[in-house]
Amino acid sequence: MDKPDRRSRPETGWLAFRDVPSCVEETLDNGVHLHIVDNGTMPANRVSIISGFGTETAARTTSIPAVSLASALITEGTTSRSGAEIAANIDFEGAMVNSRLTEHHSSITVAALNSSLPRLVPVLADIFRNADFPDHAFRAARIRSAQRYNVESTRPAVVAGRLINRLILGENHPLSAPNDADAIMATSRQMVAQTHRIIRDSASAHIFFGGKADKDTIAALRSLGAGLRPAPPASPLVPEITPPMPEPAGKHYVAMPESLQTAVAIAIPAIPRNHPDYHNLRLTVMALGGYFGSRLMTNIREEKGLTYGIGAYLLGNLDGASVSISAQCPNGTADTVINEICNEIDALATAPMPEDELTRLRRYAMSQLISVLDTPFAIADYYQCHLLYGTPDTYFEDQFRAISNLSPETIMNIAATYLLPRQMRIVTAGA
């Protein structure tokens, strides 16, 4: 093979559009929905069981700590298997299992070889159907959860994040309900079991598969779906969405005298994912603070040395969207950091972005987007996002088009329209 000529820069070019590989959907007789992304070259897979029950629904029906503990304890034992037996079954197959909880959904995910899936199906179905939450495991998990809350309450970034969340959602929003150590310790094993029964029997269930889907693997997926419930739920649970009612814009300070740093958290209410300007706003926020070469990183970290890291993100949830900016800085410098953030927002809104910066931004955004196509797992994640957040069928293509057509004028207009300092909810927590 010829040696590369390292004296000259390799040629580069823009990526051409590619469609997202298809996802085949199937609904079983018991109402469980299968979503199969057959895009793998190796006999391995990842399977996620997703239910339409998350922390917001729990805040209305049981409690947020109850669903959090149910998620954490899901593999600790069933009516027919101990936690040790479940772990041994999973480890013997070389598989990995984890659980996840969001505002409106809960999930169990397993990654395994195709040859192992048929033997894992009875274990996964048993976990979903017959989780027992042994008392010793429950008590230990409850104590750990409460202690973790107390430890995190000493960290300025966590304290600022909790308060900014309440400010952007509103004091009366279900997700603003108390979820402190006292609430965790007040949660009973019966509450956890009741919460899991609601998830098991009432919530809509979806199975997402990413990998190489041969005939035996598809049969195993159908068997798993059939084992999750005997029949369709009588009244499928559709997540109830509470629109945010943000508290008035303003600045809030939380005194933490022992802290060596001050955390800064800023939130601005934003447009939802289905708004025509959403993708351009996401790119504008990325330019502000969404990657290492962004304005905030260049100014506040690299030039002024006021923080190790600062980020800006557009968070698009079912409950609403917001622009989030966060950083930690030395005590006494928070006002300087906030002023510099406002200065960078003003610069984005009033001065055209230089061509080299725009090119760098577009290349970064395009590489992030194309990574969706890297693996069958990433493709399955894309389709999960489509289900969980109600994104349109053209979501990938819309992002590709927004990146391709991004201009300095677009960034200026979007920043001037949506990144308004007067709309900022600002929290500082520290000494």
pLDDT of residue 201: 80
Distances (CA, A) of 173 to 44, 266, 319: 42, 19, 10
Tell me: pLDDT of 63 over 60: yes
The pLDDT tens digits of the residues spanning 8-19 come to: 887 777 777 778
Tell me: pLDDT of 2 over 80: no
Query: C-alpha 217: how far from its chain's center?
Result: 28
The pLDDT tens digits of the residues spanning 311-323 come to: 999 998 877 799 9
Tell me: pLDDT of 236 over 70: no
The pLDDT tens digits of the residues spanning 291-317 come to: 998 999 999 998 888 898 899 999 988
Q: pLDDT band at residue 244, thresholds of 50, 70 and 90?
A: confident
Distances (CA, A) of 117 to 90, 218, 224, 230, 250: 10, 10, 9, 21, 53
When pLDDT is averaged across residues 94-117 and rounded to a whole number, the result is 91
Distances (CA, A) of 81 to 18, 123, 129, 193: 46, 9, 12, 16
pLDDT of residue 237: 53
DSSP 110: E
How far, in Å, CA of 122 to CA of 129, rounded? 10
Q: pLDDT band at residue 243, thresholds of 50, 70 and 90?
A: confident
pLDDT of residue 4: 73
**27 token code pair:** 């609904």
Mean pLDDT of the chain: 90
When pLDDT is averaged across residues 258-271 and rounded to a whole number, the result is 94
**403 token code pair:** 């990146």
The pLDDT tens digits of the residues spanning 325-349 come to: 999 999 999 999 999 999 999 999 9
Contacts of 152 (CB under 8 A, 6+ apart): 158
pTM for the complete prediction? 0.86
How far, in Å, CA of 431 to CA of 428, rounded? 9
pLDDT of residue 19: 84
pLDDT of residue 270: 94
429 CB-contact burial (10 Å; exposed 0-12 / middle 13-18 / buried 19+):
buried
Contacts of 212 (CB under 8 A, 6+ apart): 38, 40, 41, 42, 43, 44, 45, 114, 376
294 CB-contact burial (10 Å; exposed 0-12 / middle 13-18 / buried 19+):
buried
CA atoms within 13 Å, Cβ hemisphere of 275: 17
pLDDT of residue 415: 96
pLDDT of residue 36: 95
Of residues 128, 320, 146, 329, the one with CA closest to residue 243:
320
How far, in Å, CA of 106 to CA of 72, rounded? 11
The backbone region for 77, taken as left when phi is positive above 0, alpha when psi lies in -120 to 50, beta otherwise, is left
Q: pLDDT band at residue 280, thresholds of 50, 70 and 90?
A: very high
End-to-end CA distance of the chain: 61
**57 token code pair:** 């629904």
Q: Which residue has the higher pLDDT, 213 or 230?
A: 213
Q: pLDDT band at residue 235, thresholds of 50, 70 and 90?
A: low
Contacts of 219 (CB under 8 A, 6+ apart): 118
Beta bridge partners of 206: 33, 50
The pLDDT tens digits of the residues spanning 139-189 come to: 999 999 999 999 999 999 999 999 999 999 998 888 887 788 999 999 999
How far, in Å, CA of 416 to CA of 412, rounded? 6
DSSP 265: E
Residue 185: Cβ within 10 Å count: 14
Q: Letter for the amino acid at 394? A: T
Helix (H), strand (E) at residue 33 = strand 33-38
Strand locations in 138-190 (E): none
Tell me: pLDDT of 238 over 60: no
Distances (CA, A) of 65 to 61, 97, 98, 191, 205: 12, 21, 18, 9, 22
pLDDT of residue 1: 55
Tell me: pLDDT of 386 over 70: yes
Q: pLDDT band at residue 412, thresholds of 50, 70 and 90?
A: very high
